[in-house]
Amino acid sequence: MTKPIFPTSPVPAGVSFEPKWNSQVHHYDSGVGQGASYWSRPLYTYRIPFRNIAYAGQSSLQAFFNARKGTAESFFMSDPNVFNINSVQFVSTGTSVATLYLYDTNSFRVYPASGNLTITSALSGTLTEGTHFSIEHNTGIIDISGLAPDSADYWTATSVHFFKNCRFSAGMPMNTILWQQYSFDIMIDEEA
């Protein structure tokens, strides 16, 4: 089963997002504090105003929320601010020389969107999805079994449109200020 994609694309106006860092500060008796961050980049919490979504989109979003069982299941979402990167690294999955992951330059996994990944091989030129490679979208694994790696060959990926792995972080309280005018925000957390 393919991981579902957030149905409202592009995300409507008025979206706010907040970076979350996994950091801690330890304070000593002298009053001096020492901090440490365990991540190389933040994960984000998105706040989407439900009232800014067109009425038809509101009903499909409610159905999407209920199909995910609220906060129980994760999904892919295109970040409204950062959805394309130009520098990624191929990393072997360790199970086969023909299966690879994509990582950005900060060592975070990238889940490429179908049809938006351009791979260039030094020996074979431009590789086409469906002909030269396939993407398993739930895991982000790229299968290049049709092109066995060669020590003389190397691959680069450019212009990768990608999704972020996300999950609803709160319910959808259906309080109305006017008939069919809802006044709440949808809360979504990015996951690593």
| 103 compared with 167, residue with greater pLDDT | 167
Question: Helix, strand, or coil here: 190?
Answer: strand
Report helix, strand or coil for 120: strand
More confident residue, 188 or 148: 188
How far does Cα 63 stand from its chain's mean position?
Answer: 21
Reported as a single tens digit per residue, the pLDDT across 4-33 is 888 876 677 788 889 999 889 989 999 899
Residue 174's domain comprises 16-78+165-190
Residue 62 resides in a domain: yes
Kindly state whether residue 10 falls inside one of the protein's structural domains: no
Q: Is 5 inside any structural domain?
A: no
| Residue 172 within a domain | yes
72 lies in the same domain as 99: no
Q: 85 CB contacts (<8 Å, ≥6 apart)?
A: 104, 110, 160, 162
Residues 6+ apart with CB under 8 A from 158: 86, 118, 120
Joined together, the tokens standing for residue 139 give: 């895991």
Lowest pLDDT segment from 76-80, 83-87, 121-125, 169-173: 83-87
What is the number of structural domains in the chain? Answer: 2
> Residues 121, 169: one domain?
no
The pLDDT of residue 151: 59
Residue 3 lies inside a defined structural domain of this protein:
no
% of the chain beyond a pLDDT of 70: 85
Q: Are residues 119 and 104 in the same domain?
A: yes
Residue 8 in domain = no
